[in-house]
Structure 1
Amino acid sequence: MTLPLISIIIPTLNEARNLPQTLASLPGATNVEVVVVDGGSGDQTAAVARGLGVRVIESAPGRSRQLNAGATVATGDMLLFLHADTRLPAGFDGAMRRTLAQPGVVAGAFRLAIDGPGRGLRWVEWGVSLRSRWLQMPYGDQGIFLTAETFRALGGFPDLPMMEDFELVRRLRKRGKVAIAPTAVMTSDRRWQRLGILRTTLANQVMIAGYLLGLDPHKLARWYKDLGKPRQ
């Protein structure tokens, strides 16, 4: 029996350094295609991806737009949306298929491991695990996956400057269960290194609260971007 084709969609913007490690985690997977969606990188991201034998398309910048553009050209029965600095575990393809085959499951994601030392990051992983399993609210850095049919029925990712993964999962939860696969992706610790663990965690919670309170997502995105800029 032919296994359902999995399309892995990776949005990129200046990810030439991280992309080879991410793509190196894919060999051994069965019946998988990769679509890299570049949002106008100023480095060699597109050339690196093509050199590694994956399909590259160009898109307007913005993660939601890039993800939707990738889904448009993807030919898989299942879609996996993966960050460019996140590595998949061995056997991820089987874990995906088994997770989506469970009764009542409309989507899934992986457990999160962060590639960095320290007790603080282990606490972050623990918190993500609780949120994902008990609230069924995984985020994009965990590799969200679902069938192409379900994705089309939802209308794709909402056109937001950020929080697109949060909103997609909220909509998915209204349709069924969002399950967590038993294996973990390994994501870079660069986000926590840039702002610090506490500031990153607090900033994320402020973003979620602001979004749920109806604040303008574009203003929230500008605030978050400014927060990450180095101080003079």
Structure 2
Amino acid sequence: MQKEVPNISIIIPVLNEEDYIQRVLGKIFDHSTTTRIKEILVVDGGSTDQTVSYAKKLGVPVISSPKGRARQMNLGAKKAQGKVLYFIHVDSLPPFGFDQKIIDSYTNGKKAGCFRLRFDTPSLFLGFFAWWTKINRPICRGGDQSLYVGKELFETLGGFDQSYKVYEDNEFIGRLYKRTSFKIINDYVVTSARRYMQKGMVRLQYHFAVIHLKHYLGKGPDTLYDYYRRNIAL
């Protein structure tokens, strides 16, 4: 019996990303190789720049949402019609044939997964941390690697926890690991190193490590956000 080939809904949360929205949408168009992408949904948290108009000019619908990436992604998932949800950050670019790779993984029984990570810089320091994304452990995951998940599984888990203003991807992926077999697809999402350039690579990586540690020690979303706000937020 032939396996059903699922449709994919791509969900991109944005807020004032006029410098990146056209690039990621263009890469999605150029790097898709199937007819199984049901829709691309840009979920806007109240942009005041040209993000929304740029997306619409490319023919992509924009959903208005309260600010907050977890809220935005949940709303996108609620509106999505595809059987597979693919969440990707606006400054991360999917590899060629990403849609077929997701379909292959999903139809082979892996109901959730991500790609490995590569930064858009030759930095050996960032390359070292990107290397660890090949390891299939929750500590090695992050939203910049993008995430696919079956919609039914997403809804069963209750989606992203909206009490998290940061770390929402990691928290949700942690629950995925407890529920299903998580797949690391052997190809790369290329993500921007812009925050590392702005904050300093070592400094920012240190602060991210502290947030991971705080979560591991049982600190809640308010504590994580307070640390992020004081040390990372621009």
TM over 0.5: yes
How far did 1:172 drift?
A: 0.8
TM-score, length-scaled by structure 2 = 0.91
- Which of 185, 192, 210 is 1:206 aligned to? 210
Structure 1 unaligned runs (5+)? none
Q: Which moved more, 1:133-142 or 1:36-45?
A: 133-142
Root-mean-square deviation (Å): 1.8
Give the alignment of 1:44-55 within 5 angstroms.
44-55=50-61
**Cα pair 2:43 2:64 within 8 Å, conserved:** yes
How far did 1:219 drift?
A: 3.2
- Describe the shift of the 1:205–1:136 C-alpha distance in structure 2 as closer, same or farther (beyond 3 A): closer
Whole-Å separation in 2 of the counterparts to 1:180 and 1:220? 26
Q: How many residue pairs end up in the alignment?
A: 227
Whole-Å separation in 2 of the counterparts to 1:194 and 1:47? 27
SS at match of 1:152: helix
Whole-Å separation in 1 of the counterparts to 2:211 and 2:141? 15
- Which of 181, 190, 195 is 1:191 aligned to? 195
> Does residue 1:125 correspond to 2:127, yes or no?
no
**2:222 is matched with which residue?**
218
How far did 1:200 drift?
A: 1.7
SS at match of 1:180: strand
SS at match of 1:25: helix
**1:174 is matched with which residue?**
178
Whole-Å separation in 2 of the counterparts to 1:167 and 1:26? 26
Cα deviation, 1:73-104, whole Å, max 9, x if unaligned, reads 0100100010010111110001101112234x
**Cα pair 1:194 1:228 within 8 Å, conserved:** no
TM-score, length-scaled by structure 1 = 0.91
**1:76 is matched with which residue?**
82
Whole-Å separation in 1 of the counterparts to 2:48 and 2:216? 34
- Describe the shift of the 1:95–1:219 C-alpha distance in structure 2 as closer, same or farther (beyond 3 A): same
> Does residue 1:23 correspond to 2:29, yes or no?
no
SS at match of 1:90: coil
Whole-Å separation in 1 of the counterparts to 2:67 and 2:155? 21
Whole-Å separation in 2 of the counterparts to 1:227 and 1:135? 24
SS at match of 1:7: strand
Seq. identity, % = 37
Whole-Å separation in 2 of the counterparts to 1:36 and 1:138? 23
How far did 1:7 drift?
A: 0.4
How far did 1:164 drift?
A: 1.1
AA aligned to 2:201 is: I
Whole-Å separation in 2 of the counterparts to 1:134 and 1:152? 23
**Cα pair 2:111 2:153 within 8 Å, conserved:** yes
SS at match of 2:11: strand
**1:147 is matched with which residue?**
150
